[in-house]
Amino acid sequence: MKRYILVAMFLAAGFSSKAQEDAIAPGENLVVEGVPKISASLAETAGRYTENREAFQTDWHPTRREMIIGTRFGNTYQAHLVAMPQGARRQLTFFPEPVYGGSFHPKGADYVLYTKDVGGGEWYQFFRYDLATGESTLLTDGKSRNTSERWSTGGDRIAYVSTRRNNQDTDLWVMDPSDRKTDRMLLQLSGGGWEPQGWSPDDKKILVMEGISVNETYLWLVDTTSGEKIELTPRKTDVQVAYGSARFSRDGKGVYVTTDKDSEFQRLAYIDLSTKKVEVLTPDLSWDVDEFAQSWDGKWLAYLSNEDGISKLHLIDAVTRKEQPVPTLPVGVIGGLIWHRNNRDLGFGMTTAKDPVIAIRWT
C-alpha cells in the first residue's frame, strides 16, 4: 500500500514540477498576489467547458435547398455554405476578424452579402462575396459602423443604417450591392437607435424602428424615393410601448409586430395600415414572443415563445389566425427562424443540453 502511495506522490510531484514549468503567465496589466500558478494543461482541460461551437443559419438559397450558416473555427465566426441536408460545411470566408451574417443575392444567388468587423472595434462593414471566384469586395467606406441590412422585395437593393456622416448618428442608407457607386443616404436621422425592419411588397416604403430604450420604441414608414418619414405608431408621453421586431405583411396592407402594448408580455400582433388598429394574434399566451417569421406566400406565421427560458415553436394560419400543430422538439433554446421561398421548409438554430445544432424541419 505504501508503495502505491509513494508512486502516487512521486507522480504528483513530477506533475507539479511540470505544471510549474508550463504555468500560464498573467498579462502585464494584472497584479497577482496570493494566487497559485495555473498550469497550461489545467487550462486546456477546463477549456472544453468554457468554449462551445455554435452553428446558426443566416439565409436560404433562393431556389435550392442550400443555406449559409455561421460557425466558429478557432477564435472567430466565419460564413459557410451547406449544399444539402446533413451535408458538409464549405467555408467561404477566412479572416482574423469575425464574419456576421451572410445572405444570398435574391436575384440569381451569384454573390453573398456579409458583414465583417474591422479591428475588433465593432465598425462593421459590408462585403460582397463572389461565389464564382471566391473574391470579396468592400462595399462600405471601411471606417463607419454599418448594420441592419434588409433586402428589398425585388432583391436589387438593401436598406441599412450607417454612422458615416458623423460617426455618431445612424442614418438610413440604400445601395445596390452589385454596384457600390449606387450607395446613397436616403434619410438623415438623429440618435443611434434606428433600424430598418423591411421593405413593402412594392418597394415604395421602408419600415423603420426607432429605439429609445428597452421599454420605448416607435415605428415609421419611409418613402424610398423622397426619404419622407411618417410615424406609424403614436408617440405618447404617458404610456411607453416596446416593439421587438416588425415586418410588412405580404399583401402590403398591414404590419406584423411583437409588442407589449396593453400587456406585460411581448405579444404577436397585426397593425392595419389603413385604420392603425392593432389586432393581437396571441391573446392567450402568457409568455414573451421572442421572434417570428412570415412565409413568403404570406400564409403562415411561425413564432417562438420564451417559456421559463425554454423556446416553444408555434405556427399560425395567417388567414384564419388559428394555431396549427407542430412537431415535438427537444428541450432547448431556438433562434433564427427563416422560411425558404418554397414555403415548406422552416430553418432555425437550436441549442440543447447536449449539442448546439442547426435544426431544420422539412414540412
Check whether 16 has a pLDDT greater than 70. Answer: no
Q: How confident is the model at residue 20 (pLDDT cuts 50, 70, 90)?
A: very low
Measured CA to CA, the distance from residue 279 to residue 286 in angstroms comes to 17
- Residue 25: partners with Cβ closer than 8 Å, 6 or more residues away: none
302 phi, psi to nearest 5 deg: -100, 140
Reported as a pLDDT band with limits 50, 70 and 90, residue 7 is very low
What is the torsion angle, in degrees rounded to the nearest 10, for the CA atoms of residue 175, residue 177, residue 178 and residue 181?
40
Cell numbers found for residue 177? 450591392
What residue type is assigned to position 79 of the chain? A
**What would the mean pLDDT of 158-167 be, rounded to a whole number?**
97
Q: Measured between alpha carbons, how far is residue 2 from residues 7, 10, 11, 16, 259 in Å? A: 9, 12, 14, 21, 70
CB 217 within 8 A of CB 243: yes
Q: Which pLDDT value is given to residue 52?
A: 64
Whole-number mean pLDDT of the chain? 89
pLDDT beyond 80 at 194? yes
The superfamily CATH assigns to domain 242-363 is TolB, C-terminal domain (2.120.10.30)
Is there a contact between 278 and 291 (Cβ–Cβ < 8 Å)? no
Please tell me the distance from the alpha carbon of residue 292 to that of residue 256, in angstroms, as a whole number.
Answer: 9
Q: What's the mean pLDDT in 281-299?
A: 96
Per-residue pLDDT reduced to its tens digit, 228-256 = 999 999 887 788 999 999 999 999 999 99
Out of 33-47, 114-128, 248-262, 307-321, least confident range: 33-47
Sequence-separated (6 or more) residues with CB below 8 Å from residue 229: 187, 208, 220, 221, 222, 223
Letter string b/e over residues 11-35, b meaning 16 or more CB atoms within 10 A of that residue's CB: eeeeeeeebeeeeeeeeeeeeeeee
Give yes or no for residue 266 having a pLDDT over 70. yes
Domain ranges of the chain: 242-363
Q: Which residue reads 454612422 in cell numbers?
A: 163
Tell me the per-residue pLDDT of 68-125, one tens digit each, with 9 for 90 and over.
Answer: 999 887 788 999 999 998 889 999 999 999 998 899 999 999 999 999 988 778 899 9
